[in-house]
Chains A and B, each alone.
Chain A
Amino acid sequence: MPETLPWDRVGPQFKKDRKRAGILIDLRRCVGCHACSVSCKTEHEVPLGGFRMRVRYLERPEADRSTIAFTPLICMHCQDAPCLNACPSNAIVRGEDGRVVVDEGKCDLEQECVTACPYGAIFINEEKQVAEKCDLCQHRTDVGLDPACVSSCPSEALQFGDFDDPEDPVTKIAAATGAKGWKEDEGTKPSVLYVDHEPWMEEKANGGVQLSDADEDIIYEQNNLKRKEQA
């Protein structure tokens, strides 16, 4: 076998140094397939009921458009992270490449982070007894692999890179398309940027990753269904 197989090019020597690790989410490409969200659950053995990420199915509100918009929602790895600021135990820290991570050893389950996050990115893992959220698959990126979600996306709607590197494709595409963060007014300066996301999506998906009763969604039915109260 002359060449190295792609899946053998794995190891700490393949790790890239980044200053501002982030994900570009290109909604022009997303087809709502859930490869990313299911990959994430598999990779991290996320218990049923908890979500590090979701793929939202939002019915377009325009009168002349009757289709569905898909948008993955994830921890935004904010440069000014409300969760990090809120945690009384200093259990949320920032890595060298800017990612925001829970230090499980320090988590005291005060849940301030859950409330503080405008993106609903954090849930409580009852099994591990900690707050849990996306960590950009640190155990994968350390060996040169992309985060599980990015690796799984079949239409390149998710791309991982360094928004601080002007030559990185994510930076270039973000610049060319005017990619923006979700809920920019919150001032969180997210390192997850979206191409083509529209303001109405933020309203319909206000509950973010964990959803809320007021959210509208086609696919996560139980959380969304407006049912009549049983007598």
Chain B
Amino acid sequence: MSIQSLSRRDLLKIGSGLAASGLVTIPSFAKEITTNPAPAGRLGRIDYSKAKATPTICFGCTTHCGVVGWVQDGRVRRIDGNPLDPNSKGNICSKAQGMISYTYYPERLLYPLRRVGKRGEGKWKRVTWDEALGELADKMRPLRENGTPEEFVFHYGRDKTKGYTKRFTEAFGTPHRLNRRSICSSNRRAPLMSFYGREFEWETQDFENTKYIINFGGNPMEAYQGGLYMMHRIQHARVDKGARMVTFEVRPSATASVSDDYFPIMPGTDGAVAFAMIHVILEEGLENREFWDRWANYPIEDLRKVVADYTPEWAESHSGVPAADIRRIAIDFAKAAPACCTMSNRGSAKHYNGVQADRAIRTLDVLVGNVGKPGGFCLSTLRGWAGRYGQEGLPKLSQPGPKTSSPKPWGIGEGYNETAFKKLPQEVQDRVNAFPDYWKEKYFGELATPSEYPLAWHWYQMRVGQLVYPYIREGRQKVSVYMSYTLGAAYGYPEANLVRDVLMDEELIPFHVAVDISYGEQAELADLILPEATSLERWDMHGTNNYGLIPYTGVRQPLTKPLGQCRSIQHILKDLAQRIGGGVEEYFAFDDMESFYKEWFKNLPIPWEDFKQRGIWMDETREKDYELYERSLTEAELEGTEVDSETGIITNTESGKAVGIVKDGKSIRGFDTPHRLIGVYDEIWKIGAEATGLPMDDVNASPIAIYDTVPEHKELADDRYVFTTFKWNVHTQGRSAQWKYHSEIVHTNPVFMHPDTGAKLGVAEGDSVKLTVFRPTGHTYKGGEPGAMGDFENHVRFLKGMHPRVVACSHHAGHSAQGSVARAKNQLTGPKEGIAGDKGATQDPDIPKGIWWSKEKGGIGGGVAINDALPINPCPLTGGQNWYDNVCTVEKV
């Protein structure tokens, strides 16, 4: 990215502009040439003498890079990177422009809508905000008055308000602020929190300085939370500094494709390879013994015993990765230490054995002692600045008061919500009553804290989103008002048909209100639709871990007024709170949104106006977050503490919290775990197994990482394949199919397979196949249920980089809603009462007539919906959806 930088001078007017006659003279050419006037519905060239750039934060995916939006005549025309963002460094990807697509989409929801006719029938009338919020408040108020506020369930898909929606749910008094963490990354967060503490559920490898990366199924070149921050650093390190990256994957992803080595790997066997590498490193004596003995909470001799049989040859028999390569890579990795690191995300973790796989992978970094070192596996703060570990000296940034507090936990005991608890099925009550106190104290019912999955909420509420709908159906929680916020469960959850069934049932869900920007599969099944302002039209506080290893913060600010009658979620909840009353309104007594955010950022050392102009703030003089654990505790931090003579743990006597550890006579920070060491070994898995009845020989019950094959992959029959899904770089989750330029590039989701697999099946490229998916067989939802779970038909593409036992379809496509672009139709399909269609700012000559890939125009269409055929499959204890274990048959149609 390179905006020219020259010295400051006064701006001169260019003097060009559209003449009334339409032709524009381009003065910079030796000959004068002309450009035709902008056709109807087009805006014409951006005039950079008029257009103004304002910084904000992207919302094209979940990485949230700092960007600037160029606005001309009140309209956002293009997005560029913000070079002041120390994380993205001015870089963006294709999805940034998607913000413009969704803001000006002809089928964007612009008006509140109320269902007429039957739910799901698609008949709507436009209502005013007053009517909409009036009705909603009237339905919600009695829940508080009757002492059952938990019957209001707020369920989000993407919420980056950094706590604003929590302000509302806490003020209202419901613990039900549900999410989709388990759909995504629970399995990889749990190992990190077990190793490094709640503050570090995500790592921050120092890619700028690394020499060797082992990548187990991560794809930062295309997706991955923080992917762009990682990607540009990795490419620089590789091309300019000779760093090497090795990737284990099931398909030739972009990351695999730019890696120096790519090995197709049998799904669910990443752990085996990682264990074998541990075995080799120990065998070769390449471990960093000093680091291990100082910081790991597990004796190395015990680790040796764990991996004694996990040889490279053994790993090859499971994974297909040649033993010689496993050996070579392990040695190269260890020799590059400490400037080396592992990388892993859904590829390794979203399996029945994925949590243990990631624990093994994380052990590799501890073993070679690269943790917190330059070029190594570092940890840098990811959360709001409240004086936590790693945030010392940073200005505190918190929402303006008054501060809300969590509703009471449920259970028997003084101060607990006994009424709510007693409504639970007896089996659930019995299980919870047998829990250790530290779980009882944070139990809030089956939707927020499912008792069968205690590790889904042990560190904090990751929850198990994909069980919300089955649990509601089973009667584990009564719901009165259900609010979907930027949620696409009816499209993107496993067993999406079950989601739709529950949403359609007016006894289970008496009232459904959807807040979103487009008429998607979720909004279709609502009773009330509230049109939201897009990310270009609203405020948010921003913060995430910086791969440049110095904490920073940013602000999302409106570039334009919301279109139509759209309102930001902040406005909606504020208005709703004021209407509900009964004390809820006290938390939303501020006047305007900007002053709310100004107050939030008030402790920044720069004026608010300066911060808005830059969009980003970082203390440039702050040291990088290397070896946070070796930092000495200050006098202030040591005040009121005592040391345990045996363990060296330094505890604050008042709070009872551990704050450090004594090593070699020095009082230092240590890791943010109870034992202040790295939690290679953690009893919590054993405790969770005992509390839930998970057999102790299940791979998920082990307190130390171990390997076991995914249950349904054991003795996988010859005619069975593993079905996996993936993401493209031009799309994000289930909300980008409406972005015209992105869907123009990728609008289908064919079944990718190895040509040999095709030959075996007797199919050629383009042939249609039927994929039949079976239920998993482990200890999970409907585990072992015989027969097919679901099926779908789609056409085949060959890629020789596919693992021969894997077939894969992407996410993103196969929409039955979200308008003409997402559905590949040449008619507008959104409710005409809710959209502007071909009028006003959302008119677009491309939509819907320009959608050339529609079947009507002889095109290939918009893909196939596959999620109805993908089983709900929560990993034992953590609840992470095991998306990548699915066993299927493939038949030519």
Binds B, one of A73-81, A139-147, A182-190, A204-212: A139-147
B interface residues, tally (CB under 8 Å): 99
In chain A between 60 and 82, which residues have their CB closer than 8 angstroms to a CB of chain B? 66-70
Question: Which residues does chain B contribute within 8 Å of A115, judged by CB atoms?
Answer: none
A148: interface (CB < 8 Å): yes
Flag if A153 contacts B36 (CB, 8 Å). Answer: no
Flag if B30 contacts A13 (CB, 8 Å). Answer: no
Flag if A49 contacts B46 (CB, 8 Å). Answer: no
Q: For the complex, what is the distance from the CA of A221 to the CA of B254, rounded to whole Å?
A: 17
B20: interface (CB < 8 Å): no
Q: For the complex, what is the distance from the CA of A101 to the CA of B94, rounded to whole Å?
A: 25
Question: Which residues does chain B contribute within 8 Å of A145, judged by CB atoms?
Answer: 3-4, 48
Flag if A39 contacts B97 (CB, 8 Å). Answer: yes
The one of A26, A37, A105, A142 in contact with B28, judged by C-beta atoms closer than 8 angstroms, is A142
The one of A6, A44, A96, A103 in contact with B5, judged by C-beta atoms closer than 8 angstroms, is A6
Flag if A154 contacts B850 (CB, 8 Å). Answer: no
Q: A138-179 CB contact bits vs B (8 Å, 1 = yes)?
A: 111011111010111111100110000000000000000000
B214: interface (CB < 8 Å): no
- Least CB distance from A164 to B in Å reads 16
Flag if A4 contacts B2 (CB, 8 Å). Answer: no
The one of A14, A106, A128 in contact with B39, judged by C-beta atoms closer than 8 angstroms, is A128
Flag if B3 contacts A7 (CB, 8 Å). Answer: yes
B324: interface (CB < 8 Å): no
Q: A31-43 CB contact bits vs B (8 Å, 1 = yes)?
A: 1111101110111
Q: For the complex, what is the distance from the CA of A119 to the CA of B252, rounded to whole Å?
A: 27
The one of B77, B97, B221, B745 in contact with A31, judged by C-beta atoms closer than 8 angstroms, is B221
Flag if A7 contacts B53 (CB, 8 Å). Answer: yes
Q: For the complex, what is the distance from the CA of A29 to the CA of B800, rounded to whole Å?
A: 23
* Least CB separation from A28: chain B residue: B239
Flag if B46 contacts A70 (CB, 8 Å). Answer: no
- Least CB distance from B710 to A in Å reads 24
Q: A98-115 CB contact bits vs B (8 Å, 1 = yes)?
A: 000101111000000000
Question: Which residues does chain B contribute within 8 Å of A151, judged by CB atoms?
Answer: 1-3, 80-81
Q: B664-708 CB contact bits vs A (8 Å, 1 = yes)?
A: 000000000000000000000000000000000000000000000
Question: Which residues does chain A contribute within 8 Å of B610, judged by CB atoms?
Answer: 1
A214: interface (CB < 8 Å): no
Q: For the complex, what is the distance from the CA of A210 to the CA of B47, rounded to whole Å?
A: 28
Task: Give chain B's interface secondary structure class.
Answer: loop
* Least CB separation from A143: chain B residue: B48
- Least CB distance from A33 to B in Å reads 5
Flag if B49 contacts A143 (CB, 8 Å). Answer: yes
Q: For the complex, what is the distance from the CA of A218 to the CA of B729, rounded to whole Å?
A: 13
- Given that A33-B254, A103-B34, A227-B766 are known contacts, is A154 also in contact with B232, CB under 8 Å in the complex? yes
Flag if A105 contacts B33 (CB, 8 Å). Answer: yes
Flag if A42 contacts B43 (CB, 8 Å). Answer: no
In chain A between 5 and 31, which residues have their CB closer than 8 angstroms to a CB of chain B? 5-16, 26, 28-29, 31
Q: For the complex, what is the distance from the CA of A223 to the CA of B553, rounded to whole Å?
A: 44
* Least CB separation from A221: chain B residue: B748
Flag if A7 contacts B80 (CB, 8 Å). Answer: yes
Flag if B730 contacts A11 (CB, 8 Å). Answer: no
Q: B32-54 CB contact bits vs A (8 Å, 1 = yes)?
A: 01111011001111111100010
Question: Which residues does chain B contribute within 8 Å of A138, judged by CB atoms?
Answer: 26, 28
B258: interface (CB < 8 Å): yes
- Given that A48-B740, A225-B860 are known contacts, is A150 also in contact with B2, CB under 8 Å in the complex? yes
* Least CB separation from B40: chain A residue: A127
Q: For the complex, what is the distance from the CA of A95 to the CA of B47, rounded to whole Å?
A: 20
B91: interface (CB < 8 Å): yes
Q: For the complex, what is the distance from the CA of A47 to the CA of B41, rounded to whole Å?
A: 11
The one of B78, B765, B767 in contact with A42, judged by C-beta atoms closer than 8 angstroms, is B78
Flag if B48 contacts A139 (CB, 8 Å). Answer: yes
B799: interface (CB < 8 Å): yes
Q: For the complex, what is the distance from the CA of A39 to the CA of B783, rounded to whole Å?
A: 46
B852: interface (CB < 8 Å): yes
The one of A11, A49, A66 in contact with B49, judged by C-beta atoms closer than 8 angstroms, is A11
What are 7 A-B pairs with beta-carbon distances under 8 A?
Answer: A11-B49, A33-B729, A45-B43, A48-B851, A67-B262, A221-B746, A226-B766
Among all A-B residue pairs, the 6 with the closest Cβ atoms: A105-B34, A154-B91, A227-B766, A66-B801, A7-B53, A67-B257
Known: A38-B94, A227-B795. 20 other contacts (CB 8 A): A1-B610, A9-B8, A35-B94, A42-B79, A43-B46, A66-B801, A67-B256, A67-B262, A68-B252, A70-B254, A70-B257, A93-B29, A104-B33, A150-B2, A151-B1, A156-B235, A160-B2, A221-B797, A221-B860, A228-B764
